[in-house]
């Protein structure tokens, strides 16, 4: 609605007054909740926030709760769920607008869902979409620079995430779950959440900010090309997901489950058959060539992606890399270019979501960051479908093609506010003849 109003003569004053704009968003949040009868009050709402891992963590939490016999609602960047019905999020929004999100939760209540798991973004918090949602549990996955230009600095970005915990702290039975490895975690302890659970691989424990009984050191980590296993609180867990980052995602979900008195045995049994999220380290294979489709779209997640790809023991890594336009964190284009060029044996720079920006300029921004000696293995193919097909069809047995940036997204956003139907996976399947 705001983007529409912005085009109407006379409404520009709203955008020139941050205070009025904030009030406008807050009013919509209240109206949406009131219109649907404040549905979140009839469920236990779990909000997951952070830079990376939110979607996977949300899905793992939902699957564990369902495995424990509860009816669950879910809203993430990739998918929605109400009890046993699941469908794709085709809105290209991590967190739905106020009316849409409240309406979805009303349907969850209608289906007798006990829990609602909501991926809660900094953009959503900036626009008060989390207000008048009766969150009971907040999860902090991690924090690294993203949406810096949108928030006006990293501190503001972090402060937006912390607001979710401030909301939880106002409840007598609020629960906070924290990644103790993250260097920003101390800031998330400032809101006085009553019940706290923490997990970490490298964290120095005990941490004085939460009870020792609720602190979980992750140990015995074993990573392979098809699964990950780890120990936590004297219990062993195994999940059919790849990479250390998925150990942390799983640990966050375990802590949420433990806070709800779900037994470690039930948690472990559910994780054994956990369903991967589309577009999150999704692996396709044909004739010895493997292709990884992943959402990694900022430096930290891109590095974690390539670290996980190495578990596949690739003969060569062929990377396909783009970056968003529309004024979205231009600084990260160069950083991602350096990371990809340092890992990949071949690198194709291509289109992602240009919005109104010139796709060639975005690709050139990435290329200009790559050291001269590494540019010989880099080529530019603006057409993303062509880039994917060329990489897949040119790969040899033992090679791994890594397609980052869009994951399971179903649209590509181009000039003039247009959205083109899209699927990286479908293009890979066509190229592989699957």
Structure tokens at 119: 């991926």
The CATH code belonging to domain 2-272 is 3.40.1190.10
H-helix or E-strand spanning residue 421: strand 419-421
CATH number at 282-432: 3.90.190.20
14 has pLDDT over 60: no
The band of 425, judged by pLDDT with boundaries at 50, 70 and 90, is very high
25 pLDDT tier (thresholds 50, 70, 90): confident
Number of other residues whose CB lies within 10 A of the CB of residue 26: 15
What's the confidence (pLDDT) of residue 18? 66
- pLDDT tens digits, one per residue of 381-392: 999 999 999 999
Average pLDDT over residues 281-286: 96
Rounded distance between C-alpha atoms, residue 407 and residue 392, angstroms: 16
Report yes or no: 13 and 23 within 8 Å, Cβ to Cβ: no
Structure-block tokens of residue 270? 């559910």
Query: What pLDDT, on a 0 to 100 scale, did the predictor assign at position 2?
Result: 47
How is residue 361 written in tokens? 């300029």
DSSP β-bridge partners for residue 176: 138, 196
pLDDT of residue 7 exceeding 60:
no
Mean pLDDT of 52-69: 97
Residue 92 has pLDDT above 70, yes or no: yes
Examine the pLDDT at 414 and tell me if it is beyond 80.
Answer: yes
Q: Does residue 75 have a pLDDT over 70?
A: yes
- Out of 5-9, 94-98, 155-159, 183-187, the most confident range is 183-187
Confidence band (pLDDT; 50, 70, 90) for 166? Answer: very high
d(CA 252, CA 274): 14
| 89 CA to centre of own chain | 13
Q: Which residue is associated with the tokens 């350096």?
A: 338
Would the pLDDT of 1 be above 50? no
Distance CA 224, CA 328 (A): 34
Quick one: pLDDT at residue 326? 84
Domain boundaries, the chain: 2-272, 282-432
Residue 403: which residues within 8 A CB-CB, separation 6 or more?
A: 291, 292, 293, 294, 320, 388, 391, 424, 428
Q: Give the whole-angstrom CA distance, residue 411 versus residue 187.
A: 36
402 pLDDT higher than 60: yes
* Residue 301's pLDDT band (cuts 50, 70, 90): very high
Task: Give the pLDDT of residue 13.
Answer: 52
Residue in 353, 350, 322 with CA at minimum distance from that of residue 336 = 322
As a whole number, mean pLDDT of residues 81-90 equals 96
- Greatest Cα pair distance in the chain: 63
Average pLDDT over residues 312-336: 92
**pLDDT reported for residue 16:** 60
CA distance 228 to 160: 32
Average pLDDT, the chain: 92
> Is 173 a residue whose pLDDT tops 50?
yes
Residue 263 has pLDDT above 50, yes or no: yes
Q: Residue ranges of the alpha helices (H) in 239-378?
A: 244-259, 264-272, 299-309, 331-343, 359-369
Query: Could you tell me how many residues make up the chain?
Result: 434
Q: Is residue 331 very low, low, confident or very high in pLDDT (cuts 50, 70, 90)?
A: confident
How would you classify the pairing of strands 289-293 and 235-239? unpaired
* Model pLDDT, residue 434: 87
Query: What proportion of the chain, given as a percentage, has pLDDT over 70?
Result: 94
**What pLDDT, on the 0 to 100 scale, is given for residue 27?**
84
């Amino acid at each position: 609605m705001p983007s529409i109003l912005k085009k109407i003569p006379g409404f520009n004053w709203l955008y020139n007054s941050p205070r009025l704009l904030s009030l406008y968003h807050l009013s919509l949040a209240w109206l949406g909740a009131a219109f649907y009868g404040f549905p979140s009050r009839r469920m236990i709402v779990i909000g997951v926030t952070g830079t990376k891992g939110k979607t996977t963590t949300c899905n793992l939490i939902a699957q564990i709760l369902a495995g424990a016999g509860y009816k669950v609602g879910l809203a993430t960047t990739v998918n929605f769920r109400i009890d046993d019905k699941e469908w794709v999020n085709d809105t290209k929004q991590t967190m739905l607008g106020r009316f849409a999100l409240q309406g979805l939760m009303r349907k969850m209540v209608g289906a007798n869902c006990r829990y609602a798991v909501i991926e809660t973004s900094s953009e959503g918090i900036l626009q008060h979409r989390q207000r008048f949602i009766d969150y009971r549990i907040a999860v902090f996955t991690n924090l690294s620079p993203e949406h810096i230009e949108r928030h006006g600095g990293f501190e503001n970005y972090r402060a937006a995430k912390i607001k979710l915990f401030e909301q939880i702290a106002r409840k007598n039975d609020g629960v906070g779950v924290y990644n103790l490895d993250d260097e920003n975690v101390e800031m998330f302890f400032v809101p006085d959440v009553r019940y706290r659970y923490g997990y970490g691989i490298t964290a120095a424990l005990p941490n004085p900010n939460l009870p020792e009984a609720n602190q979980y050191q992750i140990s015995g980590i074993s990573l392979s090309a098809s699964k990950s296993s780890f120990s936590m609180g004297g219990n062993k867990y195994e999940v059919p997901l790849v990479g250390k980052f998925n150990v942390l995602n799983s640990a966050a979900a375990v802590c949420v489950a433990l806070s709800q008195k779900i037994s470690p045995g039930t948690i472990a049994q559910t994780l054994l058959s956990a369903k991967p999220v589309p577009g999150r380290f999704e692996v396709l294979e044909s004739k010895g060539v493997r292709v990884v489709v992943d959402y990694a779209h900022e430096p930290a997640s891109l590095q974690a992606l390539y670290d996980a790809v190495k578990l596949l023991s690739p003969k060569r890594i062929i990377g396909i890399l783009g970056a968003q336009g529309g004024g979205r964190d231009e600084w990260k284009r160069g950083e991602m270019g350096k990371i990809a060029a340092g890992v990949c044996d071949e690198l194709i720079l291509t289109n992602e979501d240009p919005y109104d920006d010139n796709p060639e300029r975005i690709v050139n921004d990435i290329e200009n960051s790559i050291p001269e000696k590494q540019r010989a293995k880099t080529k530019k193919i603006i057409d993303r479908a062509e880039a994917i097909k060329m990489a897949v069809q040119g790969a040899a047995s033992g090679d791994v093609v890594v397609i980052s940036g869009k994951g399971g997204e179903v649209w590509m956003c181009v000039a003039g506010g247009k959205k083109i139907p899209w699927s990286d996976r479908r293009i890979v399947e066509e190229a592989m003849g699957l």
